[in-house]
Amino acid sequence: MHLVRQPAGAGSEAELFTGEEHRKLAEEGEALLFSHTLETLIGGQLDAGLTLCGFYEDRYGNQDLLSRHMPTFIATRAVKAL
């Protein structure tokens, strides 16, 4: 397990860690985490002229504590008018 250097949803760990830190994480079998804020995700789609027409929430089963209490994943469906 490793420490997070930024608030959740603030971007990619790939942008924060040095090459040496990336190598160490890979050797330990750790994944780099990446996320978007809802503002970035949905706002970016709307700014691009897309119409949000679907939204879905899901959980990571009951395998982690957070998923037992709330959805931990989202997906959007957005379309652009022709």
What are the helix (H) ranges across the chain? 19-27, 38-47
| More reliable by pLDDT, 33 or 5 | 33
Check pLDDT > 90 for residue 78: yes
Amino acid at 67: S
Q: What is the pLDDT of residues 9-49, one digit of tens each?
A: 455 656 677 888 888 888 998 877 767 788 888 999 999 99
Q: Answer yes or no: pTM beyond 0.75.
A: no
CA 33 to CA 8: how far, in whole Å? 10
